[in-house]
Structure 1
Amino acid sequence: MEETIPATEAAHIPRQRGASLLEAAVRCAEERHWDVLPGTWLEAVGGAQRCSCGDPACAAPGAHPAHADWPARATGSATVARRLWQQRPGASVLLPTGRAFDAIEVPETAGFLALARLERRGATPGPVTLAPDRRMRFFVLTGAGAKVPELLRGLGWPPPALDLTVLGEGAYVVAPPTRFGSWGAVQWVRRPTAANRWLPDAAELIPALAYACGRDR
């Protein structure tokens, strides 16, 4: 069953109900061949939800790596992923970038504007997430970090001028339906489907994303 939830005046996000963290992790590994990593989780402490890391001021409660050596703990095996989340059903689902994909992160308002421009052109974006921090992450082919600065300069934008970040090796994306404390859950704006199995190159998205971020300044 799906329902729509308001995100901006211009867009609504279809939200799947009932998908567990375990199911989401296994699906990412099995269907998309993405490495997955169980992160921190939420614990009830004094009637409130706190991050398992123990920091009462955690900036991403229940939605960040639990160990410093987290890159080595990620797995691409659906069998291993199932076992890991069976051991810790509430663990967040983290997807390391720089392996099967990179991600381009922009503000929510810029992301929706860019999606509208891309889809008017008939482009097929890859998967896109929206987190409670009001940031959207567009999945693209790896190697985006080396390309994006030059692409932006070619469009007349010094890279530091835009609120646009590339997540590559050593970073990660928090996958749906992971929750950020009491702020809400990460959601798919564009789900992984057969239609977007082949990820776009950063060069295909940057003109629309740069325009949108420029408008959003």
Structure 2
Amino acid sequence: MIPQQRGEQLLDCAVRYADERHWDVFPGTWLRIVDGIAHCSCQTPSCAAPGAHPSRPDWADQATGSAASVRLAWGRQPRASILLPTGRTFDALDVPESAGFLALARMERMGITLGPVTCTPDRRMVFFVLPGTAARVPGAVRALGWAPDSIDLVAHGEGHYIAAPPTRIGGRGAVQWVRRPTVANRWLPDAEELLSALAYACGREPRTDGPAAPESCAAS
């Protein structure tokens, strides 16, 4: 089981994601505190995800499921964010936090099996689903009667990534688990199993531009 979120170390978590969950992980940027203000190590003043994005363009090649390689990477930079590439061991469905909690309650009432779920400091919820299923989401959303660009539901598959707990994003707080990885949710649902509840919940929300790549609930 993934360790408790408060007080845990980035290295410990990254190793457990790779070793126990068999997820590929890679180190991202990190936060530098200057005069009490958090700045991204990329040194871009307008950085949209300070401390929580890839630090190099070949990030996909950096991603590894080797615990030894993970220890080496975080040994070099212990403050590096933990990023997980989608499209490999899982895809991800990214929705507004309020819609996510509404959908989560509905799915639990319906007895739908869920995988891990995270909540990010910019108030998004990310649902882990089977790899390769994100590509079918636009067509499945249309089949449910929604125009994909009319609801704030973003599917992340190959070529994308998400930030994993306990990664912190600027001064906003940390990515947190809503549903932690456990033995019981090792088998992930197909994206289409969650879409009816997610699309309905997102349809009740005003449409906003979803993130091109998820940055990451309120500060922990």
What is the TM-score with the length of structure 2 in the denominator? 0.89
Structure 2 residue 171 is the aligned partner of structure 1 residue 171: no
1:12 corresponds in structure 2 to none
CA apart distance, 1:44: 2.0
Match of 1:143 among 124, 129, 132: 132
Match of 2:21 among 18, 21, 32: 32
SS at match of 2:126: strand
Q: Matched residues in 1 for 2:121 and 2:14: separation? A: 19
Aligned residue identity for 2:185: N
Aligned residue identity for 2:183: A
Q: Matched residues in 2 for 1:110 and 1:47: separation? A: 34
The root-mean-square deviation of aligned C-alpha atoms, in Å, is: 1.1
CA apart distance, 1:45: 2.2
Deviations 1:151-205 (A, max 9, x none): 1111101111110010111110100000001110000111110110000001110
Tell me which moved more, 44-53 or 56-65.
44-53
SS at match of 2:83: strand
Q: Which runs of 5+ in 2 are unaligned?
A: 207-220
8 Å CA contact 2:92–2:134 kept in 1: the answer is: no
Deviations 1:61-87 (A, max 9, x none): 100000011111111101110121122
CA apart distance, 1:119: 0.4
What is the TM-score with the length of structure 1 in the denominator? 0.91
Q: Matched residues in 2 for 1:102 and 1:66: separation? A: 22
Match of 2:79 among 90, 96, 115: 90
1:155 corresponds in structure 2 to 144
CA apart distance, 1:124: 2.2
Structure 2 residue 110 is the aligned partner of structure 1 residue 127: no
Aligned residue identity for 1:91: A
CA apart distance, 1:148: 0.9
Q: Matched residues in 1 for 2:148 and 2:48: separation? A: 26
Aligned residue identity for 1:169: E
Q: Which runs of 5+ in 1 are unaligned?
A: 1-14
Q: Matched residues in 2 for 1:160 and 1:16: separation? A: 35
Q: Matched residues in 2 for 1:129 and 1:138: separation? A: 7
CA apart distance, 1:147: 1.2
Q: How many residues align?
A: 203
1:203 corresponds in structure 2 to 192
8 Å CA contact 2:5–2:165 kept in 1: the answer is: no
Aligned residue identity for 1:37: F
Determine what percentage of the aligned residue pairs are the same residue: 65
Q: Matched residues in 1 for 2:53 and 2:138: separation? A: 27
Structure 2 residue 173 is the aligned partner of structure 1 residue 184: yes
